[in-house]
Structure 1
Amino acid sequence: MNGDRLREAAEVREFWGRLGLPGLVDVHTHFMPERVLHKVWGYFDALGPLTGGLEWPISYRAEEAERTALLREFGLRAFTAMLYPHKPGMARWLNGWAVGFARATPDCLHTATLFPEPGVGSYVREAVESGARVFKAHVQVGGYDPADPLLDPAWGLLAEAGIPVVIHCGSGPAPGKHTGPEPIARVLARHPRLRLVIAHLGMPEYEDFLALAERHPEVRLDTTMVFTDFTENLMPFPGRALPRLAALADRVLLGSDFPNIPYPYVHQLRALERLDLGEAWLRAVCHDNAARLFELD
């Protein structure tokens, strides 16, 4: 590990050490089969439509072992392997890969995924029985309606099992046919106990997704990329909504999008700190809420 990475790791550790935490829990980090991840990086490099045409350099373009080692150097107690299909027939294969990754990487919360297709209830049950602790859904990339009746068996099973689902459903950085709060409201109307974690705080429909969280006690939000200089220049979080975010202190979780971020990891942490919502809020967001949700202690 080079000197720059070691210095950054020291900065990250200084951040959580100053808060009196035993480390960080990041619910939005990406690990997937290497050839799939390289295709994702290629999409960013080519300024694909779902990036909003933005220049998006990958800050942590490295092999899997190096990326895992770096998160450990940062002092992450737990992280995830956010993976997602873009077409039918892909989710079951990704879930099979994730079983092996979770076994080899015990500090990674065993992650699984889904897609609206025949048999989704069956392979979601298989994933749960194999030990999946969190699911990832990507409405924008998958191009599907999260309220598609095909997904009802899966949502019902996950609600009953109490397994969180990190879902990218906001319309940022570019809108999709089924992004936005309305489809998610329909899902929650049918499955009110579903533990959805709204990725990116629902960017850019921040206030609409805050309202969903206020109405549904099992809905949470992750901080992925929000409040960073990159996102504030693109889709700024409205200052008037900060008191509502502060009031949801027990249901906001740290997310980063590592390794697919165009800035250093520590910048996400500093962006949260400069909100000036207090150390208790930071401790809850950066560790305690996720530690409680995933029963790490």
Structure 2
Amino acid sequence: MTTTTPGPTADQEIPAYLARLGLRGLADIHVHFLPPAMLEKVWTYFDNAESTYGWPWPIAYRFGEDERLRLARSFGLAAIPALSYPHKPGMAEWLNSWSADFARRVPDAIHCATMYPEPEAGRYVGEALDAGARLFKVHVQVGRFGPDDPLLEPAWARLEEAAVPVVIHAGSRPLPGEFTGPQRVEAVLRRHPRLALVIAHLGMPEYWEFADLAAKYPNVHLDTTMVATDFTERFAPLPEGFPARLAQLSDRVVLGSDFPNIPYPYAHQLEALARLGLGDSWMRKVLWENGARLLGL
């Protein structure tokens, strides 16, 4: 019989919950820290979510950087990603410089980087890796590009060689895009089969298709960002039978949250995953073991 400890219902309950599971912390792979002006623009975008998505998206953690860092640590994050992503050419290298500085001044931050299909991508991705970047982010819907764009080929080759994980948002929810979906992601994986891709949001709503990629390619993982929450179940519910697939892929599922840009308490993500009823062993792998392995914690 599988035993699943009920998840926390409030943020202040998280430390006790982790203690009951015997975990030293959380390995959350999907957290955003951005340059202040850029973050304000992101929050303004979500302020208008009702006209974009059809439902409101209130930011639960609309605080300054110091408070957001304090909160992330209070949740138990053993290391703090600072994922960023460009939406136009000439932006990625600037974001990488900011992210490198963030990692220098925040001791428990993970040095992150990003990329965009442009002739310089191979060079600056290599420079970021040489400087110690340990985690990348790619967002094909916001960036409006295909991950299989030939301009990204040198960058993918470097990332595969370095075995550095890349969180990629390629699913067609909450908004579809010209380049979203699993087909172009698999085109990249056919050329770089050992690439450490982390599919954001389990690839919602193409859950089954992206799970098949995780089963087929040895270093593909799925992150749990916003999945199974009350908010997301309204527009991208997990399909019937899919939790059993997640149980089969227990070594390939990693915690993601989208903190701070979420419309509910951080604890609700942990509660939602526990509600799947896949057992404490599965939760330990998802909340810590798999992400800690990927991030070298």
Same fold (TM over 0.5): yes
SS in 2 for 1:275: coil
User: Which one of the candidate residues 47, 65, 72 is aligned to 1:45?
Assistant: 47
Question: Which residues of 2 match residues 143-292 of structure 1 at below 5 A?
Answer: 143-292=144-293
Write the letter of the residue equivalent to 2:72.
L
Equivalent residue, structure 1, for 2:136 = 135
> Structure 1 residue 21 and structure 2 residue 23: aligned?
yes
SS in 2 for 1:212: helix
Equivalent residue, structure 2, for 1:30 = 32
Equivalent residue, structure 2, for 1:101 = 102
> Could you tell me how far apart the structure 2 residues matched to 1:56 and 1:33 are?
21
Runs ≥4 in structure 1, deviation > 6 angstroms?
none
Equivalent residue, structure 2, for 1:4 = none
Write the letter of the residue equivalent to 1:182.
Q
SS in 2 for 1:221: strand
CA positional deviation for 1:239: 2.5
Deviations 1:136-160 (A, max 9, x none): 0000100001000100000000000
CA positional deviation for 1:98: 0.5
Does the 8 A contact of 2:148 with 2:187 survive in 1?
yes
Q: Which moved more, 1:136-145 or 1:239-248?
A: 239-248
SS in 2 for 1:286: helix
Q: Which moved more, 1:162-171 or 1:11-20?
A: 11-20
Write the letter of the residue equivalent to 1:113.
T
> Structure 1 residue 12 and structure 2 residue 14: aligned?
yes
CA positional deviation for 1:186: 0.4
Superposition RMSD in Å: 1.2
Greater RCO structure (CA 8 Å; 6+ sep) = 2
SS in 2 for 1:255: coil
Does the 8 A contact of 2:11 with 2:265 survive in 1?
no
Normalised by the length of structure 1, the TM-score is: 0.95
CA positional deviation for 1:109: 1.2
> Could you tell me how far apart the structure 2 residues matched to 1:44 and 1:10 are?
26
> Could you tell me how far apart the structure 1 residues matched to 2:186 and 2:46 are?
30
Structure 1: runs of 5 or more not aligned:
1-6
Deviations 1:97-150 (A, max 9, x none): 001100111222111000000110000011001110000000010000100010
Normalised by the length of structure 2, the TM-score is: 0.95
Write the letter of the residue equivalent to 1:16.
L
Write the letter of the residue equivalent to 2:293.
R
SS in 1 for 2:78: strand
Write the letter of the residue equivalent to 2:194.
R
> Could you tell me how far apart the structure 2 residues matched to 1:79 and 1:15 are?
20
CA positional deviation for 1:8: 4.2
> Could you tell me how far apart the structure 1 residues matched to 2:80 and 2:253 are?
15
> Could you tell me how far apart the structure 1 residues matched to 2:133 and 2:296 are?
14
Does the 8 A contact of 2:89 with 2:117 survive in 1?
yes
| Matched residue count | 289
CA positional deviation for 1:286: 0.2
> Could you tell me how far apart the structure 1 residues matched to 2:186 and 2:81 are?
25
Write the letter of the residue equivalent to 2:132.
G
